[in-house]
Amino acid sequence: MSEFDNAIPGDLVENAAAVRARVAEAAARVGRHPEDVLIVAVTKTVALERMLAAARLGFATFGENRVQEAQEKQDHLRETLGQGQTPTECAAIRWELIGHLQTNKAMRAVEQFARIQSVDSVRLAQELDRRAEQFNPDVRLPILLEVNVAGEASKSGFAPDDVLAVVGAITNLPHVLPQGLMTVAPLVSDPEEVRPVFRRLRELRDRLRETAPQGEDNDGGWRELSMGMTDDYPVAIEEGATIVRIGRGLFGARPPAHG
């Protein structure tokens, strides 16, 4: 029996229903449709079989923090498929990078991910552009610009005041497609404390839509706001998030690190 034959764990079924209910409730509070919010299932340290169980529950977009871990899962998946396993959920899986990316891993990232959410410098955008041209010159690689809204020294990302100054240079790159902004809010005990972080990112996105060169996606560009994780995503949705990144809330607590 392969991992594709396993029954869906009961806790995952319950967690998925709870996450979707909270997304719908948060959207309803501000007059939005839950379908307008993409749930990215964050699979850092999550076993492939558990990820595929989430795919059977209808989650199609998976976020990885590290290029290496994503590659290991993708290699395992290809190996299993090569042995004759053809689960229908695999065809719909979309991988996105949500963690910090070093420029020397840009080519691997371009090969592995449908979108890079964590572009935190012009230099990285330029390297992704160069590598995207080598990988597939006919398709622009979707990216989000990571913004360090709270100015935390431990986090990467553009300073909010710098985004408008650099966005023209990034938009002019021919092989990447900026679609919006991403942020990681500070860890706090009360999600209301980070509401201003989400609000500021939305206001910055709105300024981009008014003043920056437009992208080529179907609504004119700069639509996406990736913000909100397990502890604060309802507040992020109320403030306009179009993408939320849920790991622990869906898959449960991560196993403790060893070593």
Task: Kindly report the length of the chain.
Answer: 259
Enumerate domains of the chain plus CATH numbers: 3-251 (3.20.20.10)
What amino acid occupies position 69? E
- pLDDT, tens digit (0-9, with 9 covering 90-100), for 146-205: 999 999 998 999 999 999 999 999 999 999 999 999 999 999 999 999 999 999 999 999
Q: Which residues of the chain have pLDDT under 70?
A: 1-6, 81-91, 212-220, 255-259
Give the DSSP letter of residue 137.
T
Alpha-carbon gap, residue 81 to 84, rounded angstroms: 5
> Of the candidates 175, 173, 197, 176, which has an alpha carbon nearest to the alpha carbon of residue 186?
197
